[in-house]
Amino acid sequence: MRLGISTLAMPMPVAKITVPPNSAAIEPWERKAIPATMSARQPARTLSMPKQNTKRANGEKTAKISKGNVTSRPLAAPDRPRLERIASSTGPTWTFGEIASLGQRAELDDVRLSYAPPPGAKLLRERIAQLHDVDPGEVLVMTGASECLLALTAHFAEPGASIVLSRPVYPALPVMARAWGLEVREYLLDARRGFAQTADGVLAAVDSSTRVVFVNSPHNPTGSVMSAAEQRKLAEALGARGIPLVVDEVYHPLYFTGPVPTATQLPNTIVLGDFAKALSIPGLRLGWLVDRDVRRREALIDLRSYFTISNSPLTEALAAHALGNAPTILARLEATASANLALLAEFMKRQKLLGWSPPAGGTTCFPWFADGRDARPFCETLAKAGVLVAPGDCFDMPAHMRVGFGAMRTGYAEALAIFGEALAKA
């Protein structure tokens, strides 16, 4: 492992982190609060959810999240099934026993509980490389796609530099970018155009300060997909300007309107993947990036040696084991998401109050109140009835709500029925 972070041109993190409204709510909502607070086996408790409290400062939105603006409210009766997972952006999750019992589990028993190699275990890198048809040496395994985002935003930060990303976007990304001092430039995914992701739309946000461009396809929260042709056009146009493209593919290969190849074969492109979304094992906390640029890979490993040092060898071994059984895991996701999406499409046809654009991939979509009202009061009412959807203000688009359809293997029709009853009264 090469240490030398101090030799990198890395600015100090800014003291005050600027965040979009409720960005802090969205991931705890999915990952922490729900499993801890709502369960058929547990008595009802409360979920703390920061309320929207934003102000404009220097043209940017800031959110104050403090005791003073946090609401606590009961979410569900103790005997309710776990309908809350309609808010989730993952697939149907797995238990340790289920994963371990797929194929040979002997490989797990021999794991030595030391640090893992900083770029990730050899077998795991080989299996990830197979998914992307690349050399295992081009794969770096990190602590979730989150650490990939952290390392990449740190790597590209320098005084006066900017990053280009979509609006809406996975809320942690602009927060991390700003924390390292990057300016954020956005390209809009327009609901009226089906949240279309086009090369020209992205390029319009690029300027002389741009150091890196991010695309997320399939996209969280909209479910839109950038076609292979548009991805290539974008990668080549950016390459001509010396600007790397990052394609966040955590929902690859879940597509509903025809497959799209992984972007690893494109020039000038870094690809992100993880175990949380398409592979539906968020508890492993593992993600990866694929990058052909050897010097940048070294710099990224150097950076992560200051964040997490390495992953756990146990979770890496479990992940390699899971990838050896990827077809089984992906088939379960595909079956769950497709069945639920069919129900959701029928449901949406009947809704007068909502507009929506059917997702082309991933596990989420982003319907909106056609009259433009703030969706949060409705989402809070719906939560009281036991069904959570993520309010659009978490993505700085208050008329919308994020609805997931990948996580629930049972109970989705029931959740939609409650959703429909609440809409009828809205």
Ligand X SMILES: Cc1ncc(COP(=O)(O)O)c(C=O)c1O
Instruction: Supply the minimum distance, in Å, between the C-beta of residue 377 and ligand X.
Output: 25
- Nearest residue to ligand X, by Cβ distance, number only: 144
Instruction: Supply the minimum distance, in Å, between the C-beta of residue 417 and ligand X.
Output: 27
**In the complex with ligand X, which residue's Cβ is closer, 333 or 423?**
333
**In the complex with ligand X, which residue's Cβ is closer, 38 or 276?**
276
CB 361 within 8 Å of CB 255: yes
Instruction: Supply the minimum distance, in Å, between the C-beta of residue 169 and ligand X.
Output: 8
Name which of 95, 81, 34 is nearest 329 in CA terms: 95
Instruction: Supply the minimum distance, in Å, between the C-beta of residue 201 and ligand X.
Output: 18
**In the complex with ligand X, which residue's Cβ is closer, 274 or 396?**
274
**In the complex with ligand X, which residue's Cβ is closer, 385 or 389?**
389
Note the helical H segments in 119-253: 122-132, 144-156, 172-179, 199-203, 228-240
Name which of 287, 276, 367 is nearest 91 in CA terms: 276
**In the complex with ligand X, which residue's Cβ is closer, 134 or 276?**
276
Handedness of CA 315, 316, 321, 322 (dihedral sign): positive
Name which of 153, 167, 178, 207 is nearest 400 in CA terms: 167
User: CB count, 10 Å around CB of 395?
Assistant: 25
Using only C-alpha atoms, what is the Rg of the chain? 21
Instruction: Supply the minimum distance, in Å, between the C-beta of residue 239 and ligand X.
Output: 23
**In the complex with ligand X, which residue's Cβ is closer, 20 or 423?**
20
Name which of 52, 20, 396, 398 is nearest 175 in CA terms: 20
Q: Which residues bind ligand X (CB under 6 A)?
A: 89, 144-146, 170, 216, 220, 248, 250, 274, 276, 282, 287
CB 40 within 8 Å of CB 79: yes
Instruction: Supply the minimum distance, in Å, between the C-beta of residue 263 and ligand X.
Output: 14
